[in-house]
Structure 1
Amino acid sequence: MKTTLLRFTARDRARRFHRPILGLAVASLPLIGCPALAQESAGPAAAPYPRAGIGVGPVAAGYAEARWAEDWSAYADPARRKDALDRLKFIPLSADGAVWLSLSGEMRARTALTTGPGLLDRPDQRLDTLRLVGGADLHLGRHLRAYGEVAHGGSGGRNDPNPVGAIRNDLVVQQAFVDVSGEAGGLELGARLGRQFFIDGSPYLISTRNGATILTPFNGARAWVRGARWRADVFDLKATQLGTGGVDDDRTDDARRFQGVTAGMVVPRDWFGGSKLFFDPFVWRTTDADRRWGAQTARERRDYVGARLWGEMGPANIDWAVARQTGRFGDRRIEALHVFTQQSVSLGDGAGAPRLGVRIDYGSGGGSYGDGTLRAAVTPQGVPTFYSYQNVFGPVNMIAVAPNISIRRGRTTLSGEVQGTWRASERDAVYRATDLPYAGTQAVDGRRVGEVWRVQAAHNVSARTSLIGRYEHLAAGPVLKDAGYASSDYLTAWINFRF
């Protein structure tokens, strides 16, 4: 792949990268322009691709992180609505029920205590946050939909620094889009335009960063085609720069762009003695006009070529992803690699059986403080809490090995994990969850960063309400200590309600 790319000029590479996006956009124009015509001209009804694999995140007890991924159409039957909140999930706006509105909401109140914030000798910090979200999903027949969502993020506490927009935000339009879909030739086609969550891929690489108060959306277009056993999604998105005031200061960030193609296929069910696996290859590109590595700031273009294999194999669950990264940082070449592997196995029958697992992750490093090839691997927007509940680490220049166990008893799940953490390259720094370095760590010797010990208890009061508590002890290793950093403890608890 690398040899082939080097044969093209920058303009040729850009044309080659955008061609699939333009092709699918053109193919979607009949649907966007006239959904009714698409309905009339459709061939046989599309055989649905398994909902779990379409790239909208998991759905549990009807609820999802991306609320538009939920399907409440069954509530068209009044007999299925058990209370007043159920009635808000399907509000008919036409006599035949073809036009209907679904309302959603969320409240999360959380408090968190951190000793030695920033892994430095500082006064303990307490951060109290409140998330309030309201959403409306308007269905205009089977093929056209408009979705809007606003959120408020409040914060307070003790020794709280000036929070960023993802923590405190008076009011933000978290999502606002229209989408159109239809069937043709046994395929499902669709397109979405506007501000939206994008979680089509390994959460280690791309996510909404749900640990924050305000979830992080993108702005742009996504289109898809799905058959019974395969799918393809193309997208062209820009990041969102979150302010802390009203809706006027949450802007599309033209300097940061994320685009690409994600495919998917259902692995034959009879493989591995019976499985529910998905294989998702992808080709992505990120651009950042003002990326900083070491003492240098320059434009960065980073191309990702990789794949994800994930799902169930009998009692085992796996989620494996590999992403090779190439491109340019200013006039320097990029050669980086991410490998994420998470696997667990049930030790008995039934949902209450204990699960043993291990997570092994690798993010290459090196070149951040030099003039040669840049080997520091970064994610487009991965989940940092995989490496630390308090968001002090990210998978840049990192090797992490984390055995874990979880036990479920009724509505309560207990889990524990210990993560050993090392640098992939001694000639590079230790990095925070923001991909920024811990100053001075690039100048000390050694690889061992430290250990992260953590436990979590989660209790589902009901399908709508959950209580969660987490504790973490970060034991600083030689690299952190030699650079002047220390160990830290973190304790947090929250209640989450949604409808």
Structure 2
Amino acid sequence: MRRRAAGLLTALLLAVPSMAADDAVTAGLDLRLRWESLDHGDWADGGDARLLHRAMPWLDVSAQPLHVRLRGIAAGVEGMRDRPGPPDRTGLDLLEAAVGIDLAQGGDIDLMLTVGRALLGLGSERLVGRRYGANVPQPFDGARMRVAGGGWQVDLLALRPVIAGSGDLDDAPGQGRFLRGAYATIDAGQGTLDAYLLATGQDTARYAQGAGRESRRTAGLRLAGSDGNWTWNGEGMWQWGRFAGTEIRAWSLASEVGYRLPGPGLSPRLLLRANIASGDASPADGRLGTFNPLYPRAKYFGELTPIGPRNMVNLHPGLELDLGAGFQLSAAGVFYWRQRRADGLYGLSGQVLRPAEPDAGRFVGRQGELVLGWEGRGLTAAASFSLFRPGRFVRGTGPARTITLVGLELGWSL
């Protein structure tokens, strides 16, 4: 893999000087430094204070009909008690190395083929996201064909998710994972309508009922838009396929409604998010009912996201305030229940946090969060405080300490 990545990087760099002098060339550097103190992760004793650092230089070259994007990354973490995973660290690697080719220009239909390694965010990134809030974003290798016309576009995907390694130039697809399908977006007047069909798979998926090979299909519809002070974003997803010799039947509903209060001062915006992700009804019925969010965005429920959208009912009210001079303040409360008593509790990446315990109740816990952010002149800064108080289910199945997270973050884009 190192030879292939180095060869691709060399070929792309050699192609850049050969382009005409009037071609559009842009370059930059994104830096991020984040300190955070996490106590009682997974509701257990202990904690750590960690420093995450990331540098991402990038280069874009556009010379019709070609578009070249290069983005490198070097990311690490100091002071983490647990072993860092792929979202936490990587050596010096290629985050993006892609070539786009305009196959049709000047007509009613635009047609572009992109091949190589690239970040990908679909819709609200509930299913396929760039994972940009984590220290190491999620790239994909493969090809994407975009067909677009007046008020609509369709992306055809044939991709493999890249798994970050801890060394240099060792990021590569693996574990039998793939992502294929079609994602369509249509202008719906005051918003957009998305419709999609995605196929995914992996060699070893783990759920409360066991582990095995998984092949899953996801069909969904999403409607998002705004009207005056109102905004909305709703999505429904249905999944089917096979897992370890059994059939999959799972689903999820996700929604967000926002309203900005009229009048001068602070521009307060009220938010209400409500989500349901199905769980498994019985480990003995020959069917898996646990929803799989595939490759979702990081910080799914906030700065602190100890739980993922699997076997979950979630209610999430929030408030956003514009303090002026580039400052914003947000506050949120989140309440979690299990959707099915016969299924367990899962993390964002799919790990089983607690096994199924039908008699332990549905209520998982409640979370509160405050975030103060600032942005200006290429700089961003944020300070956050989050806590998670466990409910009956967590208290009845293991350690049940209150999780706290304090975060300080600086970003700089050149």
Provide the identity percentage.
Answer: 22
Residue 414 to residue 325, structure 1, CA distance change in 2 (3 Å): same
Residue 146 of structure 2: SS of its match in structure 1?
Answer: strand
Aligned counterparts, 1:21-32, within 5 A:
none
| Letter in structure 2 aligned against 1:323 | M
Matched, 1:133 2:56: yes
> Counterpart of 1:307?
221
Q: Superposition pairs for residues 238-253 of structure 1, below 5 Å?
A: 238-247=160-169, 249-253=170-174
The correspondence for 1:452, drawn from 367, 380, 383, is: 367
Q: How does 1:327-366 map onto structure 2 within 5 Å?
A: 327-348=241-262, 352-366=266-280
Does residue 113 of the first structure (1) align with residue 27 of the second (2)? no
Is 1:201 aligned with 2:201? Answer: no
Corresponding letter in the other structure for 2:371 = Q
Separation of aligned partners in 1, 2:298 and 2:119? 17
**Residues 338 and 404 of structure 1, relative CA distance in 2, 3 Å threshold:** same
Q: Deviations over 1:270-320 (max 9, x none)?
A: xxxxx3x00011111111122122353222111111111112222111111
- Rounded to whole Å, the distance in 1 between the matches of 2:321 and 2:72 is 36
1:206 and 1:294 map into 2 onto residues whose CA distance is 23
Matched to 1:119, the amino acid is W
| 1:408 and 2:332 matched | no
Please state if 1:417 is matched with 2:332. Answer: yes
Is this contact kept in 2: 1:363–1:424, CA < 8 A? yes
Alignment correspondent of 2:7: none
The residue that corresponds to 1:16 in the other structure is none
Between 292-301 and 303-312, the greater mean CA deviation after superposition? 292-301
Correspondence for 1:161 among 65, 70, 82: 82
Equivalent residues in 2 for 1:4-403, closer than 5 Å: 94-95=20-21, 97=22, 99-121=23-45, 123-140=46-63, 142-157=64-79, 160-181=81-102, 182-183=104-105, 185-247=107-169, 249-253=170-174, 255-268=176-189, 275=190, 277-294=191-208, 296-348=210-262, 352-367=266-281, 369-403=283-317
- SS where residue 408 of structure 2 aligns? strand
Task: Give a deviation string over 1:222-252, Cα, whole Å, max 9, x none.
Answer: 01111111111110110112110101x2112
Letter of the 1:421 counterpart: Y
Asked whether the equivalents of residues 384 and 393 of structure 1 are also in contact (C-alpha less than 8 Å), the reply is no
Give CA deviations for 1:183-212 in whole Å, capped at 9, x if unaligned.
Answer: 253111101001111112222222111222
Question: Residues of 2 paired with 1:334 and 1:184: CA distance?
Answer: 45
Deviations 1:242-273, CA, capped at 9 Å, x for gaps = 110101x21122600011111111113xxxxx
Q: Judging changes above 3 Å, is the alpha-carbon distance between structure 1 residues 165 and 199 closer, same or farther for their aligned structure 2 residues?
A: same
CA contact (8 A) 1:392 1:432 kept: yes
Q: Deviations over 1:418-438 (max 9, x none)?
A: 011000001111111121122
Matches within 5 A, 1:426-441: 426-441=341-356
Change (3 A) 1:473 1:254: closer
CA contact (8 A) 1:132 1:153 kept: yes
Residue 383 of structure 1 and its aligned partner are, at CA, apart by 2.4
Report the Cα offset of residue 118 of structure 1: 2.0
Higher helix share: 1
Aligned partners of 1:186 and 1:440: how far apart in 2? 54
Cα 1:93–1:334 change in 2 (3 A) is: closer
1:169, CA displacement in angstroms?
1.5
| Residue number in structure 2 paired with 1:82 | none
Matches of 1:430 and 1:297 in 2, distance apart? 15
Instruction: Check whether the contact 2:208–2:344 (CA below 8 A) recurs between aligned residues.
Output: no
SS of the residue aligned with 1:118?
helix
Match for residue 5 of structure 2?
Answer: none
Pairwise CA RMSD of aligned residues?
A: 1.9
- Code of the aligned partner of 2:56: V
SS at match of 1:255: coil
User: In the alignment, residue 168 of structure 1 is paired with which amino acid?
Assistant: R
Q: Does 1:490 align with 2:405?
A: yes
Partner of 2:360, secondary structure, is coil
Q: Secondary structure at the match of 2:42?
A: helix
Runs (5+) with no aligned partner, structure 2: 1-16
In structure 1, the gaps of 5 or more residues are 1-90, 269-274
1:399–1:421 CA contact under 8 A, matched in 2: yes
1:214 Cα deviation from its structure 2 partner: 1.2
The verdict on how the C-alpha distance between 1:367 and 1:238 changes in structure 2, with shifts beyond 3 A counting, is: farther
Structure having greater relative contact order (Cα 8 Å, sep ≥ 6): 2
CA spacing shift, 1:382–1:349, aligned 2, 3 Å: farther
CA distance in 2, matches of 1:465, 1:233: 33
* Structure (1 or 2) with the greater strand fraction: 2
Is the 2:134–2:299 Cα contact (8 Å) retained in structure 1? no
Task: Give me the whole-angstrom Cα distance separating, in 1, the residues matched to 2:300 and 2:264.
Answer: 26
Contact 1:415 1:456 in 2 (8 A): yes
Structure 1 contact 444–483 (Cα < 8 Å) conserved: no
